[in-house]
Structure 1
């Protein structure tokens, strides 16, 4: 997911007008502050520079910014209808048993009750069981510890989505 060379997709992203670039970035991450930071960094000379800007912006998100970002993510096991991104990212839950889906729903609700937001994990490449085990492991965290884990997971998700954004732009 790293590229030290300038790609046609990155050049096209850099060339988007501000409104189109803002929309594309909002689809990757719902945080306005994150999107603003990346917009301010354009043009990016390499994909690595884009990812580094994303990492830096994610590290600077306030609690309110993190909440805004998390609001853009559906609960694990319940991707947004008609949203290919959340369906693709949560593919590991697609074939899960009814029992696992029910357990995940219960765990999601308990997590949300405790922390006040959805359980956020970089679900790409994870099985339903791995996601269940992760929420079980994390539910006993302090809010402060969990916020830092959420920030790290959000950073991973943002990088994957930015890589896809550049790839998608390349295909246009």
Structure 2
């Protein structure tokens, strides 16, 4: 007899025209501050802000992707400087924290920047294994190859975070500004 496996479903909040309208109408400073929470590259944020208004979300995401593909080495360094590891679930064993901390330290020592990985669509109980496997696998990359992989992960993260903003889970809302909980957060201590 097969044991049913629970499937994680995610309720997706659609991007409304009003959210995109607020993004398009917000002050340049506010939009740049918001965009920097998605990807900490001033060049990327200014480029997206300067091309407003966007007619729809796919146009904005296409522009975000294009701008991310065009990051210079200095822009990439700037963006990587503020990234941190994804959080572990609170009930994670101390051994997992230790393994993640060791893998992260080895990665940072080899490449000189934070490990970034997009966990969109990943079940919470699979995230730790995915992060550890990703670090171990990417430790074999040469530095140039790894910067390209990291840039792609940053692009995916920026896209996800930007979508979150426009779905009301980020900075640009009618309510007062609050600190945004990002998909990447502080490395927990064991």
Question: Per the shorter chain, which TM-score range?
Answer: 0.7 to 0.9
Name the SS of the counterpart of 2:35 in structure 1: helix
CA distance in 2, matches of 1:155, 1:110: 23
Higher helix share: 1
CA contact (8 A) 1:100 1:129 kept: no
**Stretches (4+) displaced over 6 A:** none
CA contact (8 A) 2:16 2:167 kept: no
Aligned to 1:109: 105
Given candidates 86, 96, 100, the residue that maps to 1:100 is 96
RMSD (Å), alpha carbons:
1.9
Aligned to 1:148: 148
Aligned to 2:182: none
What's the CA shift for 1:19?
A: 0.9
Given candidates 28, 41, 58, the residue that maps to 1:48 is 58
Runs of 5+ in structure 1 lacking a partner? 77-89
What's the CA shift for 1:133?
A: 0.8
* 2:13 aligned with 1:17: no
* 2:26 aligned with 1:30: no
Q: How many residues align?
A: 156
Larger Rg: 2
CA distance in 1, matches of 2:105, 2:88: 19
Aligned to 2:188: none
Aligned to 1:136: 136
What's the CA shift for 1:63?
A: 1.2
CA distance in 1, matches of 2:96, 2:26: 43
Greater alpha carbon shift after TM alignment, 112-121 vs 6-15: 6-15
| TM-score of the pair, normalised by structure 1 | 0.83
Aligned to 2:117: 121
| TM-score of the pair, normalised by structure 2 | 0.76
